[in-house]
Amino acid sequence: MNECVKVQTDKYSFRNSPPYPANKCKSMKKKGNDGTFYLSQPDKKKTYKWVKVSKNKTLKNKATKEDLITLVKKYRLTKSGSSREIAERLIRLRGSSIKNKKDRKIIEQFLV
């Protein structure tokens, strides 16, 4: 049974986040009173809180082929082949010289 029910009290109707208790809507995405979307996420004490969903954040987490091409130019390799082949070539030839964590995460997304 779903306990995630909209609450009509003042506490829930005058805030920016959704009018739902976050602990009862675990890992759900809801529209807030301000019109933006929020995700119910646990903190380190396992208490769920509404966290605003950022469009920029989701775009940064997904690597595109253009991101891989910029790495190819940065580390001076050829860009022929599929995305996976390019990522494998980057690791094989320049793996030890890639110190940037962001670059490594981009490459790892194509190796999975």
Q: How many domains does the chain have?
A: 2
Q: Rounded distance, CA 27 to CA 89, Å?
A: 38
Residues facing residue 49 across a β-bridge: 41
56: left (phi over 0), alpha (psi -120 to 50) or beta: alpha
Residue 41's domain spans which residues? 10-53
Give 55's pLDDT tier (boundaries 50, 70, 90). Answer: low
Whether residue 36 sits in one domain with residue 69: no
pLDDT per residue as tens digits for the range 58-107: 445 678 888 899 999 998 999 899 999 999 999 988 888 888 888 888 88
Claim to verify: residue 37 and residue 70 sit in the same structural domain:
no
Residue 68 shares a structural domain with residue 102: yes
CA distance 40 to 76: 43
What is the model's pTM? Answer: 0.49
Q: Are residues 71 and 105 in the same domain?
A: yes
